[in-house]
């Protein structure tokens, strides 16, 4: 009697390598002390596609209405960069002061990180009467 051999299927099918990758610079931002009556404070982030395929921008949102984030939501080509502008309004909640934590959410077609969270912190200094 002879042995018969049958091909063995791999136990783990090959996974698709992600070809569009998002990078955010800086990864987070601290506004430091923010005078409540001082008006809006703003910063910018650089969004880059470090992958080999086009990165689709799906959704941009923030954790609170006191914070806005804006940028061109067109697809991002490989190695292309784009600026995101972020603004915090310390008077949006006039009765609140002290440490703040807000989050910007950016959803993209990056298979490894479909939603990136960008943390914002600061310290709202109350009005001096």
The CATH number that applies at residue 121 is: 2.60.40.10
Residue 14 confidence (pLDDT): 46
Instruction: Indicate whether 119 belongs to any domain.
Output: yes
Instruction: Indicate whether 81 belongs to any domain.
Output: yes
Summarised one tens digit per residue, pLDDT across range 53-100 is 999 999 999 999 999 999 999 999 999 999 999 999 999 999 999 999
Residues contacting residue 117 through CB under 8 Å, at least 6 positions apart: 103, 104, 105
Instruction: Indicate whether 14 belongs to any domain.
Output: no
Residues pairing with 105 in the sheet: 61, 117
Summarised one tens digit per residue, pLDDT across range 22-51 is 999 999 999 999 999 999 999 999 999 999
Instruction: Indicate whether 82 belongs to any domain.
Output: yes
Instruction: Indicate whether 49 belongs to any domain.
Output: yes
d(Cα 92, Cα 102) in Å, to the nearest integer?
13
Rounded to two decimals, what is the model's pTM?
0.82
Say how many domains are in the chain. 1
Range of the domain at 112: 22-125
């Amino acid at each position: 009697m002879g042995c018969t051999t049958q091909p063995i299927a791999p136990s783990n099918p090959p996974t698709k390598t992600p070809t569009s990758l998002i990078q955010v610079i800086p990864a987070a931002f601290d506004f430091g002390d923010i005078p409540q009556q001082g008006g809006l404070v703003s910063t910018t982030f650089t969004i880059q596609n470090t992958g080999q395929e086009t990165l689709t921008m799906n959704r941009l949102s923030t954790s609170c209405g006191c914070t806005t984030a804006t940028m061109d939501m067109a697809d991002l080509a490989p190695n292309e960069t784009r600026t995101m502008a972020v603004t915090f309004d310390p008077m949006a909640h006039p009765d609140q002061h002290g440490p703040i934590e807000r989050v910007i959410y950016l959803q993209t077609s990056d298979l490894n990180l479909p939603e990136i969270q960008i943390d914002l912190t600061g310290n709202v200094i109350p009005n001096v009467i």
